[in-house]
């Protein structure tokens, strides 16, 4: 019997370095994901990290259109999806049409105009997830940018309406904590969402055991 329906987004900032996947991070992450996969319906989304940003920088002066650049990023993200799918023995998801109420697997880029966050949020809506969790390199959502303001305060809980003020269009690699489409999807479907630091993957188990970790959006 399925205990929970979960969508977990693994930020590229945590997991993908300039030369590809961070081996030591995945060695800590994989046992946690495999444990969660035992009794829960699980969709995992993975970002691109510095590897894709480095690739972008290498080709951005070659007169490619923004849409062509996004397609290149999507193809590179598919490599990350295959990599993680093989490690977890799960399906790779490459289109929105592949997702239904009982879908599980690994998802990344789908098409231009959609971030990996947006795809993960969409998946959470389709499966009616109990939790959508974003693992990132910050401890949660702050009242202002903690990189710019030393007195920035972490918010332990915000409402869906409050979340909307954090929405910005951004561009690939620079969407912020969650991009605009992901935020709109979370708010529209009332998806219980947690943004948390994923440096210690075992914190995921603490969260799902009921401990307060990161910022809860509900």
For residues 135 and 140, give the distance between their C-alpha atoms in angstroms, rounded to a whole number.
Answer: 9
What pLDDT is stored for residue 148 in this prediction? Answer: 82
Dihedral (CA of 129, 169, 83, 32) sign: negative
Residue 175 is predicted with a pLDDT of 39
Per DSSP, helices labelled H in 115-208 are 116-126, 160-163, 180-189, 203-208
In angstroms, the CA 6 to CA 38 distance is 12
Residue 141: predicted pLDDT: 86
pLDDT for 169? 52
pLDDT score at 116 = 93
3-state secondary structure of 28: helix
Report the pLDDT value the prediction gives residue 89, as an integer from 0 to 100.
96
Instruction: Give me the residues of the chain with pLDDT under 70, please.
Output: 1, 167-176
Please report, for the chain, the start and end positions of each structural domain, with discontinuous segments joined by +.
Answer: 5-217
Is pTM, for the whole model, over 0.95?
A: no
**Assign residue 189 a region: left if phi > 0, alpha if psi is -120 to 50, beta otherwise?**
alpha
Domain 5-217 matching CATH 2.60.40.420: the answer reads no
- Residue 1 is predicted with a pLDDT of 64
What does the block give as tokens for 61?
């002066």
SS3 152: coil
């Amino acid at each position: 019997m399925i205990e929970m329906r979960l969508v977990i987004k693994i930020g590229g900032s945590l997991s993908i370095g300039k030369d590809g996947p961070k081996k030591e991070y995945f060695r800590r992450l994989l046992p946690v994901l495999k444990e969660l996969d035992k009794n829960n319906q699980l969709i995992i989304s993975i970002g691109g990290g510095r590897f894709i940003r480095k690739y972008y920088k290498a080709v951005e002066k070659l007169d490619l259109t923004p849409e062509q650049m996004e397609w290149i990023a999507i193809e590179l993200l598919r490599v990350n999806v295959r990599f993680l799918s093989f490690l977890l023995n799960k399906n790779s998801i490459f289109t929105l049409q592949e997702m239904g109420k009982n879908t599980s697997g690994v998802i990344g880029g789908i098409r231009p105009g959609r971030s990996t966050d947006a795809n993960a949020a969409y998946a959470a809506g389709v499966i009616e997830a109990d939790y959508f969790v974003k693992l990132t390199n910050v401890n949660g959502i702050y009242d202002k940018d903690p990189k710019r303001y030393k007195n920035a305060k972490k918010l332990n809980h915000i409402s869906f309406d409050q979340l909307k003020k954090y929405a910005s269009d951004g561009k690939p690699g620079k969407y912020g904590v969650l991009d605009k489409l992901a935020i709109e999807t979370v708010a529209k479907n009332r998806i219980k969402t947690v943004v948390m630091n994923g440096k210690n993957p075992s914190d995921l188990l603490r969260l799902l055991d009921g401990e307060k970790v990161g910022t809860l959006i509900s």
